[in-house]
Each structure stands twice: as C-alpha cells, then as structure tokens.
Amino acid sequence: MGMGGQLELNLAVGDTESAEIGPEILDNYKHFVIHLPSNFDGTTIKFKTAPVGGSTWRALYDDNGIEVTLTVAASRAVGVDMSAGALACVRRLKLVVTAVAGDATSIVVEFKN
C-alpha cells in the first residue's frame, strides 16, 4: 500500500453520478480531499454505495436516517475523513452531484493514509 494518490472522476453534461471509487482505494486510504473545479455548479455532494460484487446502488444514510451530504462549492477543496460515520462502513462509493450543466467537468479526489 502506497502513501496515497489521486483519482480523476470525469462527468459529462447531464451526469449526476461519478464512476465508482472501489475497495482497492476505500479499504486502504481513509483521508480524502475532494477538489471541485471552477465550473462546478452544485452546492452539495451526496453518496451512493453498493455491496462488493453487487450492482444495485443506494443512497448512503447514517444511523439516524439522515442522508450523508457534503456542502461544497466551485473552486474549493473539501477534506473528508473516511474513517468517521457512515462513510467508514463502505467499500464502494459514487459521488452524486446536481446534473452537470454547461461544460463537462472533472472532480479530483486525493487520498492518503
């Protein structure tokens, strides 16, 4: 296991979900920074998860029944502790955003031990 890395999640116009962040990352790294580009037009990121080997993706809720949400904005970097709360339990994850309007965009996710 290395010290860390990054993953670029490309979103086309009309997309609302990123590609999967899988167990090879989530099982080994617990500190993430999500970098939002200047053309990001949403204010929140939500999450979906599915069991390893499963194909049905579901919105992620905490143990109080509240959907897990990050408050974000364009041109920001948001730190996420993947070892806390509901995020600590998942091995597969997708980011869910407001539909991409205008230009395609990329969200960069950095991760480290």
pLDDT surpassing 90 at residue 57: yes
What does each C-alpha distance from 43 to 7, 25, 27, 67, 75 come to in angstroms? 21, 25, 28, 15, 11
Q: Virtual CA dihedral for 57, 69, 90, 12, nearest 10 degrees?
A: 50
Q: Summarize the confidence of residues 86-111 as an average pLDDT.
A: 90
Confidence of residue 42 (pLDDT cuts 50, 70, 90): confident
Map residue 24 onto helix, strand or coil.
helix
Q: Summarize the confidence of residues 52-76 as an average pLDDT.
A: 93
Q: Which CATH number fits domain 4-112: 2.50.20, 2.30.30, 2.60.120, 2.40.50?
A: 2.60.120
Confidence of residue 2 (pLDDT cuts 50, 70, 90): low
Q: Summarize the confidence of residues 30-40 as an average pLDDT.
A: 93
69-81, pLDDT tens digit by residue?
999 999 999 999 9
**Predicted local confidence at residue 113, as pLDDT:** 85
Domain boundaries of the chain, sorted by first residue: 4-112
Please tell me whether the overall predicted TM-score, pTM, comes out greater than 0.95 for this model.
no
pLDDT surpassing 60 at residue 1: no
